Amino acid sequence: MDAKAKRRILFVDDESPVLNLLQVLMRKADSGWESLFVDGGAKALQMMAAQPFDVVVSDMRMPGMNGAEF
């Protein structure tokens, strides 16, 4: 990996307030991460098919597709 390339992290949750809080926290954190946020497992799978991520953080209790299924 290029020394200048940011590592990518994907946050997955069905609750917008949770994702909004995570966005605020990540803005204040180390800028070595490119953070993306998505509401739901199906959308997250689409994003992961289109681009790689170094880390994925998922809610375990989501409707339709829970974190374990995701």
What is the Cα–Cα distance from 33 to 50, expressed in whole angstroms? 18
pLDDT for residue 29 is more than 90: no
Structure token digits, residue 56: 């994925």
Q: What's the half-sphere exposure (Cβ side, CA atoms, 13 Å) at 62?
A: 25
Mean pLDDT over 53-67 rounds to: 90
Calculate the average pLDDT of the chain: 89
Question: Are 68 and 41 spatial neighbours (Cβ–Cβ below 8 Å)?
Answer: no
Confidence of residue 55 (pLDDT cuts 50, 70, 90): very high
pLDDT for residue 6 is more than 90: no
| Better pLDDT: 47 or 5 | 47
Structure token digits, residue 51: 């681009």
Spell out the residues 6+ positions from residue 24 whose beta carbon is closer than 8 angstroms to its own. none
| Better pLDDT: 3 or 35 | 35
pLDDT of residue 1: 53
